[in-house]
Amino acid sequence: MFYQMMTIIKKTDDVIVAAITSNITPVLISNKDMQEGNLDVDSCVRVDKIYTLSQNIVINKFGTVKPEVLNKIKEKLNKLI
């Protein structure tokens, strides 16, 4: 399972990430949705799996989604809460 960096929390240097997988269907993403980096396969963002991690344990960032995709993720997250 990979994680997409969404936001760096300025006060604590933590990051908020969402799990992505190629096995489920919430928010589908592909290379055309990437602002930087590449996906090996079309995947989906698990908006039901959001984590806060210390930047110290993040080994590698594989990319960033475009702002419009991030907004779509936020909309789905808002519907959950």
As given in the structure block, the two tokens for residue 43 are 């995947």
- CATH topology classification for 2-80: SH3 type barrels. (2.30.30)
pLDDT at 6: 46
> For residue 30, what pLDDT is reported?
94
- Rounded distance, CA 1 to CA 26, Å? 15
Strand, coil or helix: 10: coil
What's the average pLDDT block by block, 10 residues per block, for the chain (81 residues)?
48 73 71 93 84 84 90 84 72
* DSSP symbols for 25-63: -SEEE-GGGEEEE--SS-EEEEEEEEEEEEGGG-----E
pTM attached to this predicted model: 0.66
List all residues 6 or more positions away from 51 whose beta carbon is below 8 Å from its beta carbon.
3, 16, 17, 18, 19
| Domain ranges for the chain | 2-80
Q: What is the pLDDT of residue 11?
A: 64
